[in-house]
Amino acid sequence: MGEPVMKLKNLKKSISNKPIIKGLDFEIYSGEVFGFLGPNGAGKTTTIRMMVGLMSMTDGDVIIKGQSVKKDFKKAIRYVGGIVENPEMYPFMTGWKNLIHYSRMVPGISKERIQEVVRLVGLEKRMKDKVSKYSLGMRQRLGIAQALLHNPSILILDEPTNGLDPSGIREIRSYIRRLAAEEGVAVIVSSHILSEMEMMCDRIGIIKNGELISIQSVHDALQQSDQKEVTIEARPMNDAYEILQGIVEGSVNQHQNELMMSVKKEEIPLVIAKLVEQNIDIFSVNVNRSTLEDKFLDLIGEGTIE
């Protein structure tokens, strides 16, 4: 994956002596979309605010392209583009004027670069319209264009799809993927919606109560999502083992009174039926939570997932 663009090192935050972020360690790489996922109040915004220097750190550090946000804020932050609070836009000015206005505050931004970022977020045809005529999704895209003007290595977007309708969400998603692929920027997006993250991200880190509880590649997670780890307590054990070996594709492991195997969810009833057919007594069947979705459901409680 090459050198990380950003490194979190034992990052901590306490507010009024209450630990909010309890030591985060992870790395973000060029060209990847990294999803920062967690239920409301998990600590996503607090972490992002520390990453971009909007909030002080209690302990640890954030290193961006080798520069410490704590010690060398100015050097570190020039690599970052971000929308953490609402982007500052003037509704009475056109999209183009807004970008020109912003570019004057940052040295070295050419007209060509402005055109390039406009193309990257697909707003070429709407540049002459006033921002007041834009949909929320278009404003969000203009905000992303603005954040990209100075060629950042890392783009940080806090809940970029908040408040958007499904077509707006689809658009933002495709533009974010395109940015990572075409510009090679690392993109961090936060959200509390797993399904959305799975479609947009290469890797997902799950945060709960200020701690990172899982970090996983979406590709691996989707490959695994079909398989379930199943533990069956059955007697006579040896007969059950023989039968299972004949029907389960992977290996069957024996541990004390239990047999463990990995099967597809739809195969679980078949496995049980075969054992019962052959007069095996079944005392328990446990399906262990192992996938990203399982972990996330564990966290936020079933039924609340979107």
Ligand X SMILES: Nc1ncnc2c1ncn2[C@@H]1O[C@H](COP(=O)(O)OP(=O)(O)OP(=O)(O)O)[C@@H](O)[C@H]1O
Site for ligand X, rule CB under 6 A? 15, 20, 38, 40-46, 192
In whole angstroms, give the CA distance from residue 253 to residue 81. 50
Give the integer Cα–Cα distance in Å for 30 and 6.
9
- Name the minimum Å distance from CB 17 to ligand X: 11
Residue 135: CB minimum distance to ligand X, A: 23
Identity of the residue, 4 or 38, whose beta carbon is nearer to ligand X in the bound complex: 38
**Tokens representing 220?**
């691996």
For ligand X, which is the closer residue by CB, 85 or 226? 85
Q: Which is nearer to ligand X, 40 or 238 (CB)?
A: 40
The residue written with tokens 């024996």 in the block is: 254
In angstroms, give the least distance from the CB of 89 to ligand X: 22
> Do 80 and 64 touch, CB atoms closer than 8 A?
yes
Report the C-alpha gap between 87 and 131 in whole angstroms: 12
Q: Which is nearer to ligand X, 114 or 201 (CB)?
A: 201
- Other CB atoms closer than 10 Å to residue 283's CB: what's the count? 10
Cβ proximity to ligand X: between 190 and 262 the closer is 190
C-beta of 11 vs 263, nearer to ligand X? 11
Least Å from the CB of residue 260 to ligand X: 35
CB 294 within 8 Å of CB 300: no
What does residue 253 show for φ and ψ, rounded to 5 degrees? -110, 145
**Least distance in Å: CB of 34 to ligand X?**
15
CA 17 remoteness from chain centre: 29
Q: How far is the CB of 293 from ligand X (least distance, A)?
A: 19
Burial class from Cβ neighbours inside 10 Å (0-12, 13-18, 19+) for residue 115 reads middle
